[in-house]
């Protein structure tokens, strides 16, 4: 029993599909050459497939496989947010998160998945770990800074800020 975990924490942003490769009996994949676009779901500007049903599937698979409570430690949507008239209308982020949270609720209520918690990535815009850019933003709070480091660093709420505040309340 020593060293056992009490729950499984994981991140979910997207699903992906791979193409069949003859001789790949271990079902491993090479991200550079084997990932293919699923034509039945939308994708972000970065090619990340938007798949809330895949999120529910992942919750079920992890719970069925490990039989431990789950904690979603990262879930979010990266986009080039534009300030227009002093605000950011990031309805696309609200749609993404609303649909993923809805599927998580269904996994809990209909499928019996035990979910301890859910956190988004991230509350404030930061440099993207994936691309090293500031233009790919995830936060509910806009930071006035560009890829070259220019800007006042002033913070302002995006439309998603008040939406997510209501969700967690």
What is 33-68 written as a DSSP string? HHEE--TTS-B-TT--B--HHHHHHHHHHHHHHH-S
d(CA 10, CA 71): 7
Determine the Cα angle at 135 with ends 10 and 94, to 5°: 55
Estimate to the nearest angstrom the gap between the alpha carbon of 156 and the chain centroid.
22
Do the beta carbons of residue 70 and residue 7 sit within 8 Å? yes
23's CB contacts (< 8 A; 6+ apart) are none
Lowest mean pLDDT of 20-24, 39-43, 138-142, name the range. Answer: 20-24
- The whole-number pLDDT of residue 160 equals 97
**Which pLDDT score is estimated for 144?**
95
Q: What is the mean pLDDT of residues 59-74?
A: 97
- Cite the DSSP H helix spans in 44-139: 52-66, 91-109
- Calpha distance 118→87 (Å, rounded): 26
**Residue 48 or 59, more confident:** 59
What is residue 27's predicted lDDT score, i.e. its pLDDT? 64
pLDDT score, position 30: 72
| Structure token pair of residue 102 | 């809805």
Give the residue, 133 or 33, on which the prediction is more confident. Answer: 133
- Contact, 128 vs 84, CB < 8 A? no
Q: What is the pLDDT of residues 115-131, one digit of tens each?
A: 999 999 989 998 877 77
pTM of the model: 0.90
DSSP 3-state of 90: coil
């Amino acid at each position: 029993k020593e060293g056992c975990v009490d729950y499984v924490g994981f991140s979910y942003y997207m699903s992906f599909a791979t193409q069949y490769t003859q001789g790949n009996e271990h079902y491993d994949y090479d991200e550079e050459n084997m990932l293919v676009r699923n034509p039945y779901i939308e994708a972000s500007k970065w090619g990340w497939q938007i798949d809330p049903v895949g999120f529910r599937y992942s919750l079920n698979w992890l719970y069925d496989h490990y039989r431990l409570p789950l904690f979603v430690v990262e879930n979010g949507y990266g986009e080039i947010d534009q300030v227009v008239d002093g605000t950011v209308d990031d309805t696309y982020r609200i749609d993404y998160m609303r649909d993923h949270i809805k599927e998580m609720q269904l996994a809990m209520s209909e499928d019996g998945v035990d979910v301890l918690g859910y956190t988004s990535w991230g509350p404030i815009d930061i440099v993207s770990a994936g691309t090293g850019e500031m233009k790919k933003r995830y936060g509910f709070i806009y930071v006035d800074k560009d890829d070259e480091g220019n800007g006042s660093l002033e913070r302002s709420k995006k439309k998603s800020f008040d939406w997510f505040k209501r969700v967690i309340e």
